[in-house]
Amino acid sequence: MTPAPATEHALGRRAIALLDALSQYSDDPARLTRLYLSPAHRAAAEATLAFMRAAGLESRIDPLGSVVGRLEGQNPDRPALIIGSHIDTVVDAGRYDGTLGVVLGIVAVEALRERGIVPACPIEIIAFGDEENARFPTNLSTAYALSGRYDLRWLDGVDQDGLVLRDALRAFGGDASQIASVARRPEDYRGYLEVHIEQGPQLQAQDLPVGIVSAINGVSRARVTVTGEAGHAGTVPMDMRRDALAATAEMILAIETIGGKYPGTVATVGAAQIEPGAVNVIPARVVFTLDARSPDDTQRHAMVRQMTSACEAIAQRRKVDFDLKPFMDSPATAMDSGLMAVLDDSLSGLHIPPVRLASGAGHDAVAMAALCPTAMLFVRCKDGISHNPAESITVADADVAARVLIDTVTRLVA
């Protein structure tokens, strides 16, 4: 097969090259895991800082660990446009979730410079550090800080090794005393654009490279503790046990059933720790996580109440204790129609039908919508796979996404 001419999909190839460079920073040599404030997050943040500086952006790592690059443009006092996403990952992650939106922002600014376009307003690129909330019980903390909604209780959150966020932030080189300085004035920002893989199968099913996000589903998350009684696996009769894991198993099935009852709702128990965790000991305690989502907040709250009642009834019947501690209530968030209209124009200019799709996944855009008008562009990913090392996109689709972003940014900063 003849090699692709050097210029074909040049923007897409540049984005993939930056992504590949960042994918080497992992806390686990065997798989991509880059949790908030970890050494790998620090290394990836510094690499992102270097990419932003090389693209001509005045850049820094902010007190909460996000990387912020700024191009002043012709009129530094005008409201700025922000392009961003996150560079933290889940455990055993794919390399595109989050990081794609950051590198495409850099590619867009590089393209403006190559085309000799000096934006009429400032452009900021932000690589958020705590979107996955996979390490501490937080909620989009590094993005909410921009709209002054950082919840100081997050600083006392503890990871599974018992390390407190406040201490991890200090070890990272951050500064909890400067959180207020991260907050931005709404009047200084005209919009936030995030490009992200779809993490679902719709674009592939419609054979489309990109689509425009209409709204982002709401999310409830909680930490659940089930306490029974340890005992000898060989001697305690079955009808005299208070088996925390057997009770948990019944609760998880109840959660699954309720989570599937309403249109568009989902529920997941993603993590569980069993104590003492020995083959011949009846489990005394289980701590598990609940993640429940819906496009409708009233429905989501009703669903979580139903799950809680069902679990309490199981706990009572099995004589175990049940404690549910919510730690996230993220609202369903509509995207900005004005920015969506500009994205429509860019897609039409590229002869791509501008489809709308709801996001089942949460994004920094939910938090940024509290600061300024916000919109997202989804990029097709193979079989909708994400939060999985098999996550993948094509160079051609990365190229389309780059061209749409550059066109939309050019329209907005003309």
Binding site for Mn ion (CB under 5 A): 97-98
**Whole-number minimum distance, CB 35 to ligand HGY, in Å?**
12
Question: Between 23 and 410, whose beta carbon lies closer to ligand HGY?
Answer: 23
Question: Between 219 and 406, whose beta carbon lies closer to Mn ion?
Answer: 219
Which amino acid is it at 262?
A: Y
Q: Is the dihedral of CA 340, 345, 350, 355 positive or negative?
A: positive
Question: Between 12 and 362, whose beta carbon lies closer to ligand HGY?
Answer: 362
Tokens of 413: 């900063």
407 binds, among ligand HGY, Mn ion, none (CB under 5 to 8 A by kind): none
Helix, strand, coil distribution of the chain in percent, nearest 5: 40, 25, 40
84 binds, among ligand HGY, Mn ion, none (CB under 5 to 8 A by kind): none
**Whole-number minimum distance, CB 387 to Mn ion, in Å?**
6
321 burial (CB, 10 Å; 0-12 / 13-18 / 19+) is: middle
**Whole-number minimum distance, CB 368 to ligand HGY, in Å?**
14
Size of the residue set binding ligand HGY (CB under 6 A): 4
**Whole-number minimum distance, CB 99 to Mn ion, in Å?**
9
Tokens of 227: 């306490």
Do residues 143 and 364 touch, judged by C-beta distance below 8 A?
yes
Question: Between 391 and 407, whose beta carbon lies closer to ligand HGY?
Answer: 391
**Whole-number minimum distance, CB 311 to ligand HGY, in Å?**
22
Q: Which residues pair with 212 in a beta bridge?
A: 356, 377
Residue 313 region by backbone torsions, left for phi larger than 0, else alpha for psi between -120 and 50, else beta: alpha
Question: Between 227 and 388, whose beta carbon lies closer to ligand HGY?
Answer: 388
94 binds, among Mn ion, ligand HGY, none (CB under 5 to 8 A by kind): none
Contacts with 212 (C-beta within 8 Å, 6 or more apart), sequence order: 335, 340, 343, 344, 347, 354, 355, 356, 357, 375, 376, 377, 378
362 binds, among Mn ion, ligand HGY, none (CB under 5 to 8 A by kind): ligand HGY
267 binds ligand HGY (CB under 6 A): no
**Whole-number minimum distance, CB 101 to Mn ion, in Å?**
8
Report the distance separating Cα 314 and Cα 286, nearest Å: 14
Interaction residues for ligand HGY, span 118-137 (CB under 6 A):
131-132
**Whole-number minimum distance, CB 26 to Mn ion, in Å?**
15
**Whole-number minimum distance, CB 91 to ligand HGY, in Å?**
12
CB atoms within 10 A of CB 363: 28
Contacts with 162 (C-beta within 8 Å, 6 or more apart), sequence order: none
**Whole-number minimum distance, CB 390 to Mn ion, in Å?**
14
Task: Provide the 3-class DSSP secondary structure of residue 247.
Answer: helix
Cis omega before residue 3 (within 30°)? no
Interaction residues for ligand HGY, span 46-85 (CB under 6 A):
none
**Whole-number minimum distance, CB 23 to Mn ion, in Å?**
15
Question: Between 203 and 245, whose beta carbon lies closer to Mn ion?
Answer: 203
Transcribe 132-187 into DSSP letters: S--SSS-SSHHHHGGGT---GGGGG-B-TTS-BHHHHHHHHT--GGGHHHH---GG
Transcribe 254-309 into DSSP letters: HHHHHHTSSTT-EEE---EEEES--TTEE--EEEEEEEEEESSHHHHHHHHHHHHH
Do residues 161 and 347 touch, judged by C-beta distance below 8 A?
no
130 binds, among Mn ion, ligand HGY, none (CB under 5 to 8 A by kind): none
Question: Between 92 and 321, whose beta carbon lies closer to ligand HGY?
Answer: 92
Question: Between 19 and 413, whose beta carbon lies closer to ligand HGY?
Answer: 19
Question: Between 126 and 406, whose beta carbon lies closer to ligand HGY?
Answer: 126
Which helix (H) or strand (E) is 39 found in, with range?
helix 39-54
Instruction: Mark residues 331-370: x for contact with ligand HGY by CB under 6 A, - for none.
Output: ------------------------------xx--------
243 binds, among Mn ion, ligand HGY, none (CB under 5 to 8 A by kind): none
Instruction: Mark residues 151-190: x for contact with ligand HGY by CB under 6 A, - for none.
Output: ----------------------------------------
Which amino acid is it at 405?
A: L
Transcribe 202-213 into DSSP letters: HHHHTT-SEEEE
Question: Between 25 and 322, whose beta carbon lies closer to Mn ion?
Answer: 25
Q: Which residues bind ligand HGY (CB under 6 A)?
A: 131-132, 361-362
